[in-house]
């Protein structure tokens, strides 16, 4: 999985983590989802299942709402486009990459992740994601909704999402990497 970023977006986090105190994230996320769900029927033909958090978050992200999702792609070329799209002349840009198999193997150390993978190895079933959202482990998880919208399909899109809203996205990512290297689990 790759993510393109101009220098101005290098430290970009999920949109929901801008200017919002961490302690308020869960409540604000619930309110945003509720408000979005009340209005979505006017814009789409098919509504997601009520319990399908991933599809709701993906649609919210698509429509510009702040979510816990961070956009990634399976295409190097799409990532490169987003890296250079907003880069100013002479300014650095980058394509970030993560080995999804390494990440999934690392995540298997966490009991909640093992339970979710037992339900659905692709993590697309709402029941699998519900396990992770309830447990709130301090991990980031690669996800793709079962139903993908046109933009997500064209961009070969995927997401990485933080499961614990009490930690920043960057803090969770660094914590996961540190634990993977030192062999500790939570």
147-168 tens-digit pLDDT: 888 889 999 999 998 888 887 7
Give the pLDDT band of residue 170 (cuts 50, 70, 90): confident
Give the pLDDT band of residue 58 (cuts 50, 70, 90): very high
Question: What does the pLDDT read at residue 162?
Answer: 85
The secondary structure element, H or E, covering residue 87 is: none
Q: What is the mean pLDDT of residues 60-83?
A: 91
Count how many residues are written for the chain. Answer: 186
Q: What is the mean pLDDT of residues 110-128?
A: 93
Strand 157-162 and strand 69-73: the pairing is antiparallel
% of the chain residues with pLDDT over 70: 84
On whether the CB atoms of residues 164 and 138 are closer than 8 A, the answer is: yes
Question: What does the pLDDT read at residue 43?
Answer: 86
pTM: predicted TM-score of the whole model, two decimal places: 0.80
Looking at 18-22, 72-76, 104-108, which range is the least confident one?
A: 18-22
Question: What does the pLDDT read at residue 24?
Answer: 77
Using DSSP's 3-state secondary structure scheme, residue 26 falls into helix
Closest CA to 161 of 184, 132, 183, 182: 132
Question: What does the pLDDT read at residue 185?
Answer: 41
């Amino acid at each position: 999985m790759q993510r393109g970023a101009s220098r101005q977006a290098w430290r970009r986090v999920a949109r929901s983590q801008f200017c919002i105190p961490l302690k308020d994230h869960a409540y604000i996320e619930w309110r945003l989802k509720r408000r979005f769900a009340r209005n979505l029927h006017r814009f789409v033909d098919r509504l997601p299942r009520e319990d399908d958090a991933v599809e709701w978050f993906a649609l919210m992200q698509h429509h510009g709402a702040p979510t816990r999702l961070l956009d990634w792609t399976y295409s190097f070329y799409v990532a490169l486009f987003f890296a250079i799209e907003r880069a100013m002349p002479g300014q650095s840009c980058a394509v970030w990459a993560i080995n999804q198999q390494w990440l999934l193997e690392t995540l298997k150390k966490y009991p909640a992740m093992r339970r979710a993978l037992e339900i659905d190895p692709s993590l697309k079933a709402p029941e699998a994601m519900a396990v992770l959202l309830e447990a709130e482990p301090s991990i980031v998880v690669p996800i793709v909704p079962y139903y993908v919208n046109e933009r997500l399909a064209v961009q070969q899109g995927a997401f990485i999402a933080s499961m614990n809203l009490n930690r920043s996205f960057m803090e969770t990512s660094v914590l996961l990497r540190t634990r993977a290297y030192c062999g500790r689990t939570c």
